[in-house]
Amino acid sequence: MKSIKQYSQKFWALGLAVVLLQGFSSCRKELNYTPEVFVSAQTVYKDEPGAIAGVTGIYQQLQTLKKSDYQLIGVIGTDEARCTYQAQGYGSYWAGVVGMDVYDITFNSQNADVSGFWAGCYQGVANANAAILNIPQIKNFAEPAVQSRLVGEARFMRALFYFYLVQLYGDVPMPLENTSIANGLPRVPQQQVYSQIEADLKFAVANCWTKNKLAGNDIGRANVEAAKALLGKVYLTLHDYQNAKTTFEDLINTNHISLMQNYADLFDGKHENNAESLFEIQYSIDNNNNTQGLQNLYGSYAGPPVKFETFDQHTPGYGGTVVMATSYYSDTVFAKPYSWEYQYDTRYAASINHDRYDGNGNTMSWWVDPGLPTVKKYDISSGDIDVYHSGKNLYYLRSADVFLMYAETLNELGQTQEALAPLNKIRERAFGNNTLDFAATDQASLREIIMDERSRELGAEGWRWFDLKRTGTLVQRLKRYNDPKRDFMTKNNSTTDPHPAQNVSAKNNLFPIPLTELQNNAALGLKAQNPGY
Amino acid sequence: MNASAQQRKINGAVKDSQTGQPLPFATVSVEAAGKPVNKFAADQNGNFAVDAAVGHVLKISFTGYEPKKITVGDTTNITVLLKSNGNLSEVVVIAYGTEKRKDLTSSVTTISAKQISEAPSTNLATALASRAPGLEVHSTSTQPGAGAAVNVRGLNSITQLQGPLYIVDGVALVGDIRNINPADIESVEILKDAAAAGIYGSRAAEGVILITTKKPKAGATSINFDMYAGIQVNNPAYKMLDARSYAKLKRAGFQDADPGTFGAPGTDTADRKMFNTYELQSIANGYANYDWQKAILHNNAPTQNYTLSVSNGTGSNRVYFSGQYQNQDGILINTGYKKYSAHFSDETAIRPFLKMGASANYAHDITHNAMPNEYQQSLTESPLQPIFDAGGQPLIVIDKSTGTPTIFNPATLALDAIDLYTTNRTNANLYLEFTPLKNLAFRSSIGADIYQAEEDKYYPRTTGPGYTPTNGFAEIYNTRATDVLWENTITYNFLKGDHELNLLGGFTFEKHENFATDMQADQFPTDLLSYKAIGSGGQKLQDNSNYDGWAVRSLLARAVYKYKGRYILNATIRQDGSSRFGSNNKFGVFPTVSGAWRVIDEPWMGFKLKTWLNDFKLRVSYGLVGNQNLPYDAIYTRYDPASYPFNGSSITSGYAVAGTNGVYGNNSLQWEVQHQFNAGTDIAILNNRVQLSVDVYNKNISSLLMPLPLAPSSGFQTEFVNVAAMNTKGIDIALKITPIQTKDFTWQTSINWSKYKSKVTKLFPGRDSVNLALRVGLPPSGTYVNYIYDGLYQQGDNFTLNPNGKPGDIKIKDVNGDGKITPLDEVVVGSSIPKGWGSFWNYFRYKSISLTVYSTYEYGQQLNNLTFTDLSYYNSLYGSTGNVTVQGGNYWTPTNTNTNIPRPNTFGTSLKTLPGGVGQGSSYSIQGASYFKIQHITLGYDFPSALLDKIKVHSLNIYAQALNPFLFTGYKGVDPDIAGADAANEIYPRYRTFLMGVKLGL
């Protein structure tokens, strides 16, 4: 007979075995544990809300790209705006920003802004590619019209990013939605990039909605008018004036674009997404991540631009004294301040803060730059939090640009008389009447006039560098208009203030390719750099 | 003596005097008239039968025991009881079981309870510092409650270092081990090589630390009370300039930058442009001096600790419990560490064949952290600036034109700001041991670690981070982690004749989850309610959560074969399936093999030899372990939340890829692989008065995770791939000597010395380097690469390398001689990996008085002392424009050229032409960091037992102790021992602690 002990042992042994086996089998499934805070491409692009969410991400990439000092690309290093003397002393990072302005040795492949802008554009491209690839594959999309519109928006955005890349850097790698990154991406010739941009914009024209169809929370999305305007600009850049003319005429005649009556309304922060605006980059103070801090770059800490005004980071005009207007922009292209012509150009007051005042109401002439004219277009409005957190939108394309481009196109085609009509539309809005309209003149003079008018109308909005490159006048205009020695430096006896006229040369029509790209792209190497860098 | 006495058979047994266990294969030697006649070995049961005559002497010896001589008399049956004389019979805790130290084939170092509780610590990890060769521990700062960085045997990875695996009584602890009371610990075993740690498979690449808490001794009860109390005295590392010298420096700096405006130094107009109204007042008062360091210092801060433990081992239910209260006030005001903890363990034999046990540990601690930059700011504030206003409140200076403060008073941070870190940690373990047969045992144990930590911050509007427009900032960060470990093992021991076989098989499962939430808000209407009313913050900055979890299931087996007690062969194997591996690579197998030869037990080792050679063993091991710390980001391409305000204000939320994360997922990722070879020897001579343990190891680590930088045109920044390989080899030596041992006086000394060399052997295919600091041939981390500092420019020097430079500026060496300074001139300027490190422990005892001096050392390493550079070089870009150290007051001037401090330079324009720009730096800030640090000096007195018996007390020891009394180093900073000592900001000052304590045992 078995003893109690033996029975007892068997009981316990059996009990343990059962428990162990149970545990053993249940553990296996725990190994396929995906962390639940992760969202991947498969989980995003599954239905209509997901597609909208993914496309929202593309817009955010553009917003991020333009809300900081990357916005200066296209603005500084031109005849319109420049970095201040102080900026070079703010630290090594800012020395690189100044380098983009003066084209000196810090304007190289390791320049933080040059590299950052490149990376930022490609992040936008990656998001756009994901949308273009995945959205058409979504089955049972709730509203098919929205599905094609979203793809149109994504292709517009991709064209926008590539347009920046090809103009700044020349031949660039061009990953599309089906491209594999495994073996590196070669630099694609500019012509091919432009063809892709053209194709993307044509798709956008065909599939996006028009401005008046976008309502409510869809206002601000890429639309047909913006796509046509950008397509026209691309043709203009390629000097394909015939196609540019057709596109602009189509846009002006069928889509009824218009100008705001009051120029200052464009920049007061209270007329966002107005009738003149074709595509804006949206910002808002409702979310800390969606604000922009541009007044800090364009403002100055010298003193208030209005006499006897309190002056701190909550007031317009206050800032870090990084960028200022060139004397060309503040005192030449607009004609002399206080001249009778200046008094009537409503654009001046909205574009430039000319004087700064000290505590006693006297005009300030502080040592070196802070007391000099600054750009006013980025001043915060009453609805903003402070200079670092503004909800003011930025213009990418507006109707005034279209009219000026149309005038330029006609002028280049030799139609100098017809070119006056769109040009004078701008003048009439600026002066309120036609007394200062331009009269007929020859093609070369009209070219100069149009370039100057673009400064007066679209100054510091981010297109100048691209305009100068397109017209082949970058080096010439910088040497002529961005040589501060002639004006302020002689006054202050400071000859070491760096300025572009010293350094700029033909090679600066292209930016250097970032070093990180050359080092890590298997299809490129250090030899694939743009000439001269 | 009758020489022709009869030979008889003498039978006997050799046993351990304490436990009564037989000592197998003991040596029995027969001597006649002092000369050895014959030699026999006892059998595996310790029994022997020898021929000897009356008057012969039997010498019986066994390794680890004191040999005994027995004269043969009339009895033919002798039982010999040998007394253990050292640590060879001791039992060592190893992975999933225990082993006698003499039978170990792997590299395991035991740190005893006595060593751990020799000096107080707030973190168990720091108590282990350098107690085992190969174990590197550095505190992260001198702040009470600071964490520690722990490293076993050099560098084990390039990117995925996480520290060793800690197992405490069957509970796996992830992260720090601060919650354990050192007084509750019986021993800590460091499993260093592949054979010791390999049975933990993919968790073992950085070593395994097993912590065993005290268990009640069989048949005994005891009550112990330990306490200490003392003060901490400031030991300043930086001496800053006084008011007058500071004013002189600032004037020189501004005048140099712009002589036109700031004109002749010391004039009113120039001064008014440089100093604010308060400073001008102080200058007018004859350079009134304000001591900022003193304003935030709480000198002579008290520290105390009390532990009470009770242990009852009588009866079939054995219980141990203890409680602790520890309170260390910080030497900066409003900082400190407080801990309450309790420990409980119980073991019951509910049946003769069934034993159950449980243990639980609960710790609750509160750390008041020093504020960011508080200490650093107190060093750099102008000594002319008053700290408090007339009302005794910290003074804040507002710049009238901008409306923002120019001085953020660090005293406001220290007094008003809150940074509170509270943790609650419970470890619990329950186990069952079932022994149906004598040699067969099942063990099942479940351990859980439940960890909750909360960090609460509040910066009021008087402080820098909380000033307008922030208007008060609050953060509540909560994290909760659970780790459950279920281990099941079956062991079988088989003994026959000369052969012994120990088999182990097991199955374990571990699941870990953590969940964190973070709330941040600012714009508070009032500072009164602080973070506790975070809802009243006008602006929500963040409402975020994060979840992470993983599971590992493993099968393991071990076989140990011992032949004749002196040839030991050990093999282990483990299979891990982990949710942290990429989906294509879910399982890994990790085998190890090791062997040991107890040379001392060989019969041909003469008896004479054995009188002075007490132990000699050779060990060798080889195995494969892994590192499963792969970041989730590396496997999945992540989409992050994005938002965009269409229509100018209404936020539409969405997702974006490749944002700040920028990592492209790789689902073929696998664990990092480590092959480790270890050879070692343990030698003891002269009655164990000299004990030496030497281990050499070679680790080939491959499949290392590297973030492959992707071209930005891909849209992503990196992708993790298993491509790299590295090699670490080193040597660990532990030497313990007892030079003097007399009745009244003992001197023991113990030296640990370790050294390792790590180098990368492979990076990316086709690429030998990632950047100048990370490349093949160099260690994977710790290399400093920069320009070489070539002295200062003097008057009349050639300025081609730096056209904007002036005399007194830093000169950079043109290494490649091309006439300009480019990134090609950057070279390796130093390494933070030491050429050797270890500890030096000395113990002196005269009758009842003992003196212990424990010191640690490290030599041959450098650190990038940016802090000291910032604090000495007056420059708005390279350093700071605040106060500088006394050394910084010796700056270059045309009349003072024999110095290394550059001229004060307010705008730094002369550094602009350096390729990396003005913040580039150079080898200027690299300093040698070798040190010899006396960790503690303890003087103790043990009350004599004669006296104690009268009052029924078992033991009473009182002691006086000094912690960190002396630091010998050339490094100019707080402490080169602190991990990250080259961070750009010092967090906490340096201090010495003096305390007295009592250890009472009843």
Cα B831 to the center of its chain, rounded Å: 20
Q: What is the per-residue pLDDT for B870?
A: 78
CB contact under 8 A, A56 and B644: yes
Q: Which of B758, B992, B964, B996 is nearest to B129 (CA)?
A: B964
DSSP string, B641-664: EEEEEETTTEEEEEEEESSSS-EE
Closest partner residue to B912 (CB to CB) among A88, A217, A311 is: A88
Tokens for A66? 């333009």
CB contact under 8 A, B655 and A37: no
Q: What is the per-residue pLDDT for B917?
A: 57
**C-alpha span between B869 and B848 (Å, rounded):** 50
**C-alpha span between B172 and B451 (Å, rounded):** 12
Q: Does B804 or A131 have the greater pLDDT score?
A: A131
Please, what is the average pLDDT of chain B? 85
Shortest CA gap A173–chain B (Å): 7
Tokens for B790? 């070539």
Helix A241-254 crosses helix A224-237 at what angle (to 10 degrees)?
A: 160
Residue type, position B907, single letter? F
CB of B522 closer than 8 Å to CB of B465:
no
Q: Does B974 or B341 have the greater pLDDT score?
A: B341
Shortest CA gap B823–chain A (Å): 11
Residues of B in contact with A5 (CB under 8 A): 352-353
Q: What is the per-residue pLDDT for B664?
A: 85
**C-alpha span between A329 and A454 (Å, rounded):** 11
A81-111 residue pLDDT tens: 988 877 877 877 888 898 889 898 889 898 9
Confidence of residue B24 (pLDDT cuts 50, 70, 90): confident
CB of B918 closer than 8 Å to CB of B877:
yes
Helix A48-66 crosses helix A112-134 at what angle (to 10 degrees)?
A: 170
Q: Any alpha helices (H) in A256-395, and if so which ranges?
A: 295-298, 327, 340-344, 346-351
Residues in CB range of B330: below 8 A, 6 or more apart: B143, B144, B298, B301, B336, B337, B368, B370, B988
Q: Is the ipTM of this complex over 0.85?
A: yes
B459-503 residue pLDDT tens: 988 887 888 778 899 999 999 999 999 999 999 999 888 899 999
CB contact under 8 A, A20 and B488: yes
CB contact under 8 A, B639 and A61: no
Q: What is the mean pLDDT of residues B739-765?
A: 91
Residue type, position B208, single letter? V
Q: What is the mean pLDDT of residues B136-143?
A: 86
Confidence of residue A15 (pLDDT cuts 50, 70, 90): low
Q: What is the per-residue pLDDT for A277?
A: 93
- Cis, bond preceding B469 (omega within 30 deg of 0): yes
CB contacts < 8 A (A, B): 255
CB contact under 8 A, A57 and B642: yes
Closest partner residue to B645 (CB to CB) among A37, A287, A367 is: A287
Shortest CA gap A142–chain B (Å): 18
A361-397 residue pLDDT tens: 777 765 556 567 889 999 998 888 888 889 999 999 9
B375-388 residue pLDDT tens: 888 888 888 888 88
Indicate the range of A304-313, B191-200, B698-707 predicted with least confidence.
Answer: A304-313
Please, what is the average pLDDT of chain A? 86
Q: What is the mean pLDDT of residues B796-807?
A: 79
* Residue among B254, B509, B714 with most chain A CBs within 10 A, to mutate: B714
B615-671 residue pLDDT tens: 899 999 999 988 887 777 777 788 888 889 988 777 888 888 876 668 888 878 888
Q: What is the mean pLDDT of residues B825-833?
A: 88
Residues of A in contact with B351 (CB under 8 A): 8, 12
CB contact under 8 A, B547 and A36: yes
B899-943 residue pLDDT tens: 888 888 766 555 555 555 555 678 888 889 999 999 999 999 999
Confidence of residue B859 (pLDDT cuts 50, 70, 90): very high
Residues of A in contact with B469 (CB under 8 A): 313-314, 385-386
Q: What is the mean pLDDT of residues A447-468?
A: 93
A168-212 residue pLDDT tens: 999 999 999 988 877 788 999 999 999 999 999 999 999 999 998
The secondary element (H helix, E strand) that includes residue A493 is none
* Global confidence as pTM: 0.75
CB contact under 8 A, B917 and A106: yes
Shortest CA gap A449–chain B (Å): 34
Indicate the range of A376-385, B70-79, B684-693, B745-754 predicted with least confidence.
Answer: B70-79
Closest partner residue to A8 (CB to CB) among B351, B507, B637 is: B351
CB contact under 8 A, B644 and A282: yes
B594-629 residue pLDDT tens: 999 998 888 887 777 777 888 899 999 999 988 887
Q: Does A486 or A40 have the greater pLDDT score?
A: A40
CB of B932 closer than 8 Å to CB of B968:
yes
Q: Which residue of B has its CA nearest to A124?
A: B715
Q: Which of A384, A359, A91 is nearest to B469 (CA)?
A: A384
Residues of B in contact with A219 (CB under 8 A): 646-648
CB atoms within 10 A of CB B782: 17
Q: Which residue of B has its CA nearest to A106?
A: B915
* Residue among A30, A88, A515, A519 with most chain B CBs within 10 A, to mutate: A30
Q: Which residue of A has its CA nearest to B432?
A: A16
Q: What is the mean pLDDT of residues A119-137?
A: 93
Using the predicted structure, report yes or no on whether residue A3 has a pLDDT greater than 70. no
Residues of B in contact with A130 (CB under 8 A): 657
Residues in CB range of A278: below 8 A, 6 or more apart: A211, A223, A225, A226, A229, A257, A396, A397, A398, A399, A402
CB contact under 8 A, A524 and B711: yes
Shortest CA gap A290–chain B (Å): 7
Rg of chain B, C-alpha, whole Å: 33
Confidence of residue A149 (pLDDT cuts 50, 70, 90): very high
Pairing state of beta strands B650-657 and B639-646?
antiparallel
CB contact under 8 A, B711 and A118: no
Cα B332 to the center of its chain, rounded Å: 24
**C-alpha span between A300 and A249 (Å, rounded):** 42
DSSP string, B163-231: --EEEETTEEE-S--TTS-GGGEEEEEEE-SHHHHGGGGGG-TT-EEEEEE--PPTT-EEEEEEEEEEE
3-state SS, residue B538? coil
CB contact under 8 A, A13 and B436: yes
- 3-state SS string for B5-62: CCEEEEEEEEEECCCCCECCCCEEEEEECCEEEEEEECCCCCEEEEEEECCCEEEEEC
**C-alpha span between A220 and A231 (Å, rounded):** 18
